[in-house]
Chain A
């Protein structure tokens, strides 16, 4: 069975600095996808970024990038130039491509951006 581990329950970053949120995963399946979602204090879940296991390049979406290290089974989220609005809970999730969309989530990391 697949497993996602987020080892940082809480993180602090100064406004305008970059921050890395850690995510490691465990699966023996060679075909999978990795996702990051943001949950602000209002509660909704917002998709941020996706990385496929066969993608050669690290995914980027605006200020978000995914540092994908396949051999180490890590998929860390990097947020550049942090903004106050980035304060939220962040979840890493994985889909096995054989499981048609069924996602496994980590326990999340709470990010606080300081002014």
Chain B
């Protein structure tokens, strides 16, 4: 069965370190998204991609970057982790305007 996987599931890092969260999907979807989930804020869009070599900023993109070198992967990089980036991160993919398929999430703690 097709799936979308995130790794790691949990990550603890220190302020100022670079961190990369992995996202891999086997749905062959063109659209991929990164969201963060914080208490009281629902899911907020960080970055998204509509295909290989395409990346776009979402509403909370400061301090984050992504790259899309193939259809399957959209890694999210925190250039210099900050405590404000402690959150649960979800990767998702979709075909056109259809429903999102989500990964299981990554709990990131920045100390």
Chain A contact residues, CB within 8 Å of chain B: 4, 6, 33, 35, 37, 43-45, 47, 50, 91, 93, 95, 97, 99-108
Stretch at the interface among B18-26, B74-82, B96-104: B96-104
B41 touches A107 (CB 8 A): yes
B111 interfacial contact with A, CB 8 Å: no
- Which residue of A47, A100, A106 is within 8 Å of B96 (Cβ)? A100
A34 to chain B, nearest CB (A): 11
Chain A residues with CB under 8 A of B98: 50, 101
Bound form: Cα–Cα A4–B88 in Å: 21
Chain B positions within 8 Å of A, measured between CB atoms, are 31, 33, 35, 40-45, 48, 50, 58, 88, 90, 92, 94-102, 104-105
Task: Kindly state the separation between the CA atoms of A83 and B91 in the bound complex, as whole angstroms.
Answer: 29
B residues near A108, Cβ cutoff 8 Å? 42
B102 is contacted by which of A45, A95, A97, A99 (Cβ under 8 Å)?
Answer: A45
Q: Is the pair B104, A43 in contact by a Cβ cutoff of 8 Å? A: yes
> Contact at A107–B42, with CB atoms within 8 Å?
yes
In the bound assembly, the distance between CA atoms of A106 and B43 in angstroms comes to 8
Task: Choose among A50, A91, A100 the residue that contacts B99 (Cβ–Cβ < 8 A).
Answer: A50
B102 & A91 in contact (Cβ 8 Å cutoff): no
Contact partner of B88 (CB less than 8 A), chosen from A43, A93, A101, is: A43
Contact A44 B105 (CB under 8 A): yes
A19 to chain B, nearest CB (A): 20
A sample of 15 more A-B contacts (CB under 8 A), given A45-B90, A45-B92, A101-B97, is A4-B42, A6-B42, A43-B88, A43-B104, A44-B102, A47-B99, A47-B101, A91-B43, A100-B96, A101-B31, A101-B96, A103-B43, A104-B45, A105-B35, A107-B40
Q: Taking CB as reference atom, which chain B residue is nearest A4?
A: B42
